[in-house]
Copies of this chain bind each other. A is one copy, B any other.
Amino acid sequence: MCWMCVLFLSAIALQPALEAVRAYREKHAAQLLRQFVELLRIPNVSGDTDNIRRNAEALRDALAQRGVDARLLELEGAAPLVFGELKAPGATRTLGVYAHYDGQPVSPDEWAQSPWAPTLYTATIEAGGKPRALPAEGETLDPEWRLYARSAADDKAPILAALAALDALRDAGAALTSHVKFLFEGEEEAGSPHLKQYLEANRALLDVDVWIFCDGPAHQSGRNQLVFGARGIAGLDLTVYGAKRSLHSGHYGGWAPNPALLLSNLLASMKDERGGVKVQRFYDSCTPLTPTERAALAAMPPIDDDLKRELGLLYSEGGGAPYAERMMAPTLNILGISCGAVGQAARNVIPDTARATIDLRLVPGNDPDDLLDYVESHVRTRGFFIVRAEPDLMIRRVQARIAKVTRRAGYPAARTSMDLPIVREIIAAAEQANGSPLVLNPTLGGSLPLHLFTEQLGKPVVIAPIANHDNNQHAANENLRLGALWYGIDLIAALLTLPAEPGRP
């Protein structure tokens, strides 16, 4: 038996444990923040193999230092999965705690500082926050301070919270009431291309009773939430063609077809003025909502007006339907368009190609490949011949309009029933950590590879986000509100000390 478990055997009741955890993290706040900064200093863009491995090894070692039986699971060509297991003597239930240590690509020149130079601000930059030194030991930390760095929110925050929760519980002498398995993924932002294979190869190792998915942001109302599903994802890269080379816009303007115009027409044809997707059959396969889900939706705090005010918007897609309702539907978005150059860099040319990248978000019932098929059918109905590689002159001379389509890896949506007993226990514990009722949200708008757990492993998943909703997730100047980190520590501590199962000592 490990030394941690010996400590944990001196169990105390839930509420005092949480109080002790709070006292611990308040006392050690500056030190926890420093640990977090060290973790964020390691670049973690999906696909940056060497740095991804540095992250994985640092996390394995951090778990091991806390008595967790930790190791890296490996697959050829894949980022390592950090796996750790901690047994709770006498426990009959196993919790799985998932987070991911990789982050989205960055455009460094859009950041206030390097994405890998974590910087503490006194508030958000937008609200006039100023950079400040990391606090000294014993200094009082304002929960409104923000730590700016790639993955400060998405998704290293819950990892630091888990490490801190273990430290705090040990310090409090509080016993775990469930076995726990940690799973930190390293390619979630790349669409989790190997997670399915990892889960298949480690089915027994990864058997738990419920997965706690620590990812995603707080509810946009600012209140913390639990979420019971996530949208699926798919996408495609689209290139349309003009002449086989760029042409002088004077000498050919009015004669040569312009791929920017072709692409604009094609993209404009995909959605109506209200944001409805005009692709045939796009909405046909959606699973209807259950009465419980409808009730949960109705009870969610309204956020549309505040969101619009904050974001400088006068309207939203969907013709005024509330935000929460819009997340229950699949959607199509343009992530980017690239053609020629603009502004100072613009040249007097008719570009030879125009490119767009499109993102689909799916709900239960939607098959990613089916929806991509429908989008491709739509492209064809607009007169385009679809190719998978750069078209040569032979093809150009027989096809008037050509679109190259490259599909992007994706996965389906998933939702867990809010009525399962273990789910109800988790809700109760999380509300204790939060100190007030949580928003109970049937689905996250974003995508997580939940389906692998709900379908492949056949286990329920509850998403327990800790990041503030205005964290600039996936964009420049990603940041975490310190108060969110403190909640995360309390939350994980509360889950690790759930009341024992009925009928158990």
Interface set of A (CB-CB < 8 Å, partner B):
104-105, 107, 126, 189, 216-217, 230-231, 233, 237, 241-258, 260-261, 263-265, 267-268, 270-271, 275, 309, 311-318, 323, 326-327, 329-343, 345-351, 354-357, 359, 361, 391, 393, 396-400, 444-447, 472-476
Contact = CB atoms under 8 A, between A and B. Distances in A.
Contact of A249 (B246, B361, B391): B361
A264 B334 CA distance: 10
A337 B350 CA distance: 11
A255 B346 contact: no
Nearest to A262: B268
A63 B320 CA distance: 70
Contacts of A246: 472, 474-476
Given A217-B251, A264-B334, A256 B317 contact: yes
A224 to B, nearest CB: 15
Given A247-B311, A342-B237, A351 B331 contact: no
A445 B253 CA distance: 7
A258 B361 contact: no
A264 B268 CA distance: 5
Contact of A255 (B245, B260, B316, B330): B316
Contacts of A399: 314
A349 B347 CA distance: 27
Report the 8 A-B pairs with minimum CB-CB distance, sorted nearest first. Answer: A336-B340, A250-B446, A312-B396, A254-B331, A260-B334, A243-B311, A264-B267, A346-B357
A231 B336 CA distance: 33
Nearest to A47: B344
A260 B391 CA distance: 26
A335 B348 contact: yes
A260 B152 CA distance: 28
A346 B350 contact: no
Most chain B Cβ neighbours within 10 Å, of A268, A270, A327: A268
23 contacts: A104-B348, A231-B250, A233-B250, A245-B472, A245-B475, A247-B311, A251-B446, A256-B311, A258-B317, A258-B334, A261-B268, A261-B271, A261-B334, A263-B337, A264-B337, A313-B396, A314-B399, A335-B346, A337-B337, A337-B338, A337-B340, A340-B357, A341-B357
A402 to B, nearest CB: 9
Nearest to A399: B314
A78 B204 CA distance: 75
Given A251-B446, A267-B261, A323-B255, A334 B338 contact: no
Contacts of A337: 260, 263-264, 337-340, 342, 354
A190 to B, nearest CB: 11
Contacts of A391: 312
A116 to B, nearest CB: 17
A445 B104 contact: no
Contact of A318 (B254, B261, B275, B326): B254
A475 B334 contact: no
A309 B335 CA distance: 34
A361 B254 CA distance: 9
A335 B242 CA distance: 12
A249 B313 CA distance: 16
Given A323-B255, A339-B337, A356-B342, A311 B245 contact: yes
A347 B475 contact: yes
Contacts of A268: 261, 264-265, 268
B349 A248 contact: no
A162 to B, nearest CB: 23
A254 B317 contact: yes
B335 A342 contact: yes
